[in-house]
Amino acid sequence: MPPQTDNCNIQEVTPLIAPSLVKAEFPLTETAAKVVLSTRQAIRNIIHGRDPHRLVVIVGPCSIHDPEAALEYAHRLKQVADQTQEHLVIVMRTYFEKPRTTVGWKGLINDPHLDGSCDIATGLKLARSILLRVNEIGLACATEMLDPVTPQYTADLVSWAAIGARTIESQTHREMASGLSMPVGFKNGTDGRLQIALNAILSASHPHSFLGIGQDGMTALIKTSGNPDRHIVLRGGGGKTNYGPEDVERAALLMEDQGIPRSVMVDCSHDNSQKDYRNQGSVCREVLRQYQAGQRALMGVMVESNLNPGKQTWCEGASLKYGVSITDGCIGWEETADLLQEMAATVAGGALALSH
């Protein structure tokens, strides 16, 4: 027998429940399917210029760590989404996977008990059950697709997806995006580079063949047809912001070749907020000002928001404050509700100006 040459650094391999079985436990409902399909279509109409009057708003916690707080947030957001639907397509950030700069808690799917036990089987079910409940309220969900296996468990409940700044250059993620069923926003890189996002957007529009898993959990050859519904997300980077008028115009010009008329979303958080959640409101207002001034390449904004403002440090065994982020700092609910109403009023004014 030759000596073992593989799995040298692997402690354990545990088979997981197949996607089809998790779906059988938490099946897609008529209501949820309607929310998903109508929201995806509304976002497509905005991106492709068929709806020139509304903005997409991806808003909600940086990460979900407490299902109860997430559902309370969803109920509150649903009310504002209904009040502002003429002007905004509001989609809740339901982020269950966190890409870390180095190490840290990697999200509710990876570690649902927040204790380092990494019970991913429970995490997948928990994420799906939260997505289902939020959709059942009538509110659409947005998430970052980080692990290429995860969409098989959750994608039928997701209306908008992000490819994040840390994975934008990865072929695996571009292939995955080419097969996703929902519109996808591509972040610029953490160093601020736009070109890698543009390359990703082009790559994801093409068909790809790659390794993945099927609904039965078996490894499979996946062939995709390419995703026509793509846009860029400006999130700043390398310590610099990129939400100013010149930045947005530059991104819009670079996106022209992709044939997508409304192709630019601004992430008001991350480097655009200089990693201080209190700056998100002013970033958002500057983007609204550009929209009001006629910048119609702008299709939406992203805001990190939670029930309560700020963030807290998670460590094993720590007692946590309710409704406060354990990843990036977020604006609190009162500020969020006011900002969303302000956005709706600005967009209403913009639509009026356009029709004269």
Ligand X SMILES: O=C[C@H](O)[C@H](O)COP(=O)(O)O
Ligand Y SMILES: C=C(OP(=O)(O)O)C(=O)O
Residue 104 or 294: the one with the smaller Cβ distance to ligand X is 104
**The dihedral formed by the CA atoms of 69, 71, 76 and 79, expressed in degrees to the nearest 10:** 170
Choose among ligand X, ligand Y, none what residue 144 binds, the Cβ cut-off being 5 to 8 Å by kind: ligand Y
Asked if 350 touches ligand Y (CB under 6 A), the answer is: no
220 by DSSP, 3-state: which? strand
Residue 103 Cβ vs ligand X, minimum distance, rounded to whole Å: 8
Length of the chain: 356
Amino acid type, 42: A
Residue 257 Cβ vs ligand X, minimum distance, rounded to whole Å: 29
Asked if 99 touches ligand Y (CB under 6 A), the answer is: yes
**The dihedral formed by the CA atoms of 208, 19, 173 and 262, expressed in degrees to the nearest 10:** 90
Q: Are 182 and 40 in contact (CB under 8 A)?
A: yes
> Looking only at residues 227 through 286 of this chain, which bind ligand Y when binding is defined by CB under 6 A?
235, 267, 270
Helix pair 195-204, 245-255: axis angle to 10 deg: 30
Terminal Cα-to-Cα distance of the chain (whole angstroms) = 82
Distance CA 145, CA 206 (A): 18
Asked if 327 touches ligand X (CB under 6 A), the answer is: yes
Distance CA 58, CA 145 (A): 15
Please select the residue that binds ligand Y; options are 51, 97, 111, 144, rule is CB under 6 A: 144
Asked if 165 touches ligand Y (CB under 6 A), the answer is: yes
Residue 218 Cβ vs ligand Y, minimum distance, rounded to whole Å: 30
> Looking only at residues 216 through 235 of this chain, which bind ligand Y when binding is defined by CB under 6 A?
235
Residue 167 or 178: the one with the smaller Cβ distance to ligand Y is 167
Widest CA span in the chain: 82
Per-residue binding string, ligand X, 61-90, x by CB under 6 A, is: -x----------------------------
Residue 270 Cβ vs ligand X, minimum distance, rounded to whole Å: 6
Residue 173 Cβ vs ligand X, minimum distance, rounded to whole Å: 15
Q: Which residues fall within 8 angstroms of residue 80, CB to CB, at 6 or more apart?
A: 90, 337, 340, 341
Residue 71 Cβ vs ligand Y, minimum distance, rounded to whole Å: 20
Residue 306 or 346: the one with the smaller Cβ distance to ligand Y is 306
Residue 166 Cβ vs ligand Y, minimum distance, rounded to whole Å: 6
Residue 32 or 155: the one with the smaller Cβ distance to ligand Y is 155
Residue 162 Cβ vs ligand Y, minimum distance, rounded to whole Å: 6
Q: Which bin fits 155, alpha (ψ -120 to 50), beta or left (φ > 0)?
A: alpha
Per-residue binding string, ligand Y, 19-58, x by CB under 6 A, is: ----------------------------------------
Q: What are phi and psi of 260, to 5 degrees?
A: -115, 110
Q: Are strands 209-213 and 219-223 parallel, antiparallel or unpaired?
A: antiparallel
Tokens of 44: 């497509």
* Range list of β-strands (E), the chain: 55-60, 88-93, 140-144, 160-163, 184-187, 209-213, 219-223, 230-234, 264-267, 298-304
Please select the residue that binds ligand X; options are 4, 5, 101, 219, rule is CB under 6 A: 101
Q: What are phi and psi of 185, to 5 degrees?
A: -100, 135
Q: Which residues bind ligand X (CB under 6 A)?
A: 62, 98-101, 104, 270, 327-328
Which residues contact ligand Y by CB under 6 A?
Answer: 62, 95, 99, 144, 164-166, 187, 235, 267, 270
